[in-house]
A and B are shown apart, each in its own frame.
Chain A
Amino acid sequence: MRVDEKDPGLYDFRPWRDRAPIRWPGGKTCAVWISPNLEYYEIDPPINPHRKSWPQIHPDVVGYGHRDYGNRVGHWRMADLMSKHGFPGSVSLSVALCQHIPEVVADAEARGWEFFSHGIYNTRYSYGMDEAQERAMIEDAIHTVREATGQTIRGWLAPALTHTPRTLDLIAEYGLTYTCDLYHDDQPGPVKVASGRLMSMPYSLEVNDHYGFFVYNMSPRDYADVLIRQFDRLAAEGEASGTVMCIPLHAYLIGQPHRIGAFEEVLRHIAADGRAWITTAGEIADHFLSTGAYAAAEADAARYGAGAEA
């Protein structure tokens, strides 16, 4: 990125109209991927001077216990429901979960889910890291997931959404192909990095269960309605050019007994609709990178001037 400039230079402008169309496999119009955040929050993490981990003095019993509920209760309930309706997970993983609770990681792997990195712990932040420290974190994530699951991670969602100006360059250099940290589009697109090739994978804050329940204070049924409306719109617009809908989840939120039933209606709706390509982030990335869509998006951007030549 362009450090300290007004425009960070992450990508070129491309308006929603006038793009080379994306065609998903099987004539589907909306690629739907679910991203369970499988996380480990520490009870007594060291304090990063740029961000506090817990609102209460350690141990923050409710904060910690709430997250721990996700691994003891919520994950299993959420994962069974996803499997029942044919939805794989693309896991945003606190990689230390591989050490702490390998049962949850093994369960996700056994279901055929794929993993990308969400940092070491969700109580450790990238803010303030120098390059060597950030490289060590990225290398740790790659090695830990490979050792625990045999998978090579291809994507990155920054731990607790904390970045440095060099994060995107580094993950591209290490061979990762997508970032979930940019929220500028409902389609994948090129990201400008110093070396290698990186694409943005549409994730979502607005339909993230955390935002739904604790930013917008939605009831479980209201949140389910929002997801259904999000899908219906993206599936309709995707007739012209394929769209992406991500459903980012946290087992400690969606796995609650008062919420999971309403969420099942969402899965039922999307699975029955017929327009959804129910898939993973990795398959979306493969498709985007292997069918010429990445180059076509760059060509689209080249028609729109200033941002293109940076």
Chain B
Amino acid sequence: MTLDPACLEYSRRHHGMDHDLYPYSSLFARPDVLWPGDKKIAVGVLVSLEWFPIVPGKAPFKAPGHMQTAYPDYRHYTSREYGTRVGFYRLLDAFAARSIRASIAVNAAIAERYPSIIADIIAAGHEIVAHSTDMDGTIDSTLPETEERAIIRAARDTLAAATGTVPCGWLSIARQQSWNTPRLLVEEGFAYACDWVNDELPYIQSTAAGPLVAVPFNHELSDRQIITVEQHSAESYVEQMQDACNWLAGEAQSRMLPLHVTPYIMGLPFRMAAFETLLDWLVARGDCAFLAGAELAAPFLQGLKP
């Protein structure tokens, strides 16, 4: 038996990364970032607001949370809708009660189907992040560039029309990109994306069309990972986020704590009290600034200006 010699070629084995998207950088070797109010920790709250067609399309891959059973999958279709109708409003109320500004990553289909939700988000002062078209709007490198660009434009333009503001932030479904995604996002006017989880502070990615800020919403700290994938309780989630916050607060430089939550996961009655406890705990610390994605990206965008 012999392995195809192509499996033993190391053409990108050289100093630095094996791609050109960003250079290597240790978190601990960078200049400190100054968050508004000189707070130690920037808490980025990101809510994914998703719409799953009950008839899944021929997407590059099936989004996490999508339909599971033979047609018609009432249980998953309606469980996801529960998050949008009920859970999301629990989250909105929880944020309002604590004057917390969040980023809401919205499928364009939400704006088309439920315009009042967009009005509620805007009235509350939250940022809207473009989150593809609907949960069939997945992207990977099998998707032709023209189709990917059409998805990005459709999401951007639908949300811009619904809100009166062109979104500057992007979140891909399941954070999955193609080789083209960062460049297409820059070409279509986006300033930052939330897909890359390789860091704990925003940093600059380079594309042929210009720079894009990567704002890392670490999936390891998301409710999807901790509660749905690892099957921990909401109380354990809270303890883990508190442990994370305490650790970050003890490090020398400013840090970012991502809170990525999903209405149909965290917005359930038996989990909400735990989540509200966490929000209260973070507010009471006094060293946390709740920043939307654009505010997290801002210090790094400024660094790009000549």
Chain A residue nearest to B233 (CB atoms) is A219
Q: Which of A252-298 contact B (CB under 8 A)?
A: 256-262
Complex: how many Å from CA A101 to CA B219?
A: 24
Q: Does B239 contact A (CB under 8 A)?
A: yes
Please report the total number of A residues contacting B with Cβ < 8 Å: 53
Contact between chains at B26 and A258 (CB < 8 Å): no
Q: Which of A169-210 contact B (CB under 8 A)?
A: none
Q: Does A232 contact B (CB under 8 A)?
A: no
Which of B2, B9, B18, B26 interacts with A72 by CB under 8 Å?
Answer: B26
B contact residues around A56 at 8 Å (CB): 61, 140, 176
Which of A73, A133, A219 interacts with B232 by CB under 8 Å?
Answer: A219
Contact between chains at B18 and A57 (CB < 8 Å): no
Segment at the interface with A among B48-56, B94-102, B242-250, B293-301: B242-250
Please give the distance in Å from B17's CB to the nearest CB on chain A: 7
B contact residues around A57 at 8 Å (CB): 60-61, 140-142, 178
Segment at the interface with A among B195-203, B260-268, B279-287: B195-203
| A residues lining the B interface (CB < 8 Å) | 40, 42-44, 46-49, 56-62, 64-66, 68-69, 71-73, 76, 96, 99-103, 120-121, 124, 127-130, 133, 136-137, 213-214, 217, 219-221, 256-262
Contact between chains at A124 and B240 (CB < 8 Å): no
Contact between chains at B2 and A130 (CB < 8 Å): yes
Q: Which of A46, A136, A259 has the most CB of B within 10 A?
A: A46
Q: Does B8 contact A (CB under 8 A)?
A: yes
A contact residues around B13 at 8 Å (CB): 96, 99-100, 120
A contact residues around B172 at 8 Å (CB): 61
Q: Does B113 contact A (CB under 8 A)?
A: no
Chain B residue nearest to A213 (CB atoms) is B230
Contact between chains at B174 and A124 (CB < 8 Å): no
Q: Which of B235-258 contact A (CB under 8 A)?
A: 236, 239-241, 243-248, 255, 257
Q: Which of B1-56 contact A (CB under 8 A)?
A: 1-4, 6-10, 12-19, 24-28
A contact residues around B248 at 8 Å (CB): 257
Known: A58-B141, A129-B3. 10 other contacts (CB 8 A): A46-B9, A56-B61, A57-B141, A65-B195, A69-B197, A69-B218, A72-B27, A73-B198, A76-B27, A256-B218
Please report the total number of B residues contacting A with Cβ < 8 Å: 60
Chain A residue nearest to B9 (CB atoms) is A46
Given contact pairs A46-B7, A130-B1, A219-B236, A261 touches B243 in the complex (Cβ within 8 A): yes
A-B contact pairs, 27 of them (CB 8 A): A40-B18, A43-B17, A44-B19, A46-B4, A46-B7, A57-B60, A57-B140, A58-B141, A61-B196, A64-B198, A65-B196, A65-B197, A69-B200, A76-B27, A99-B13, A100-B14, A103-B24, A103-B26, A128-B1, A128-B3, A128-B7, A219-B232, A256-B221, A257-B244, A258-B240, A258-B243, A261-B243
Please give the distance in Å from B105's CB to the nearest CB on chain A: 15
| B residues lining the A interface (CB < 8 Å) | 1-4, 6-10, 12-19, 24-28, 60-61, 140-142, 172, 174-179, 195-200, 218-221, 229-232, 236, 239-241, 243-248, 255, 257
Given contact pairs A61-B196, A65-B197, A258 touches B27 in the complex (Cβ within 8 A): no
A contact residues around B255 at 8 Å (CB): 257
Please give the distance in Å from B286's CB to the nearest CB on chain A: 19
Chain B residue nearest to A71 (CB atoms) is B24
Which of A43, A62, A64, A100 interacts with B174 by CB under 8 Å?
Answer: A62
Q: Which of A59, A71, A258 has the most CB of B within 10 A?
A: A258
Contact between chains at B18 and A43 (CB < 8 Å): yes
Contact between chains at B19 and A43 (CB < 8 Å): yes
Contact between chains at B1 and A66 (CB < 8 Å): no
Which of B4, B200, B219, B245 interacts with A62 by CB under 8 Å?
Answer: B219
Contact between chains at B1 and A256 (CB < 8 Å): no
Please give the distance in Å from A180's CB to the nearest CB on chain B: 23
Contact between chains at B3 and A262 (CB < 8 Å): no
Given contact pairs A48-B3, A101-B24, A219-B232, A261 touches B246 in the complex (Cβ within 8 A): yes
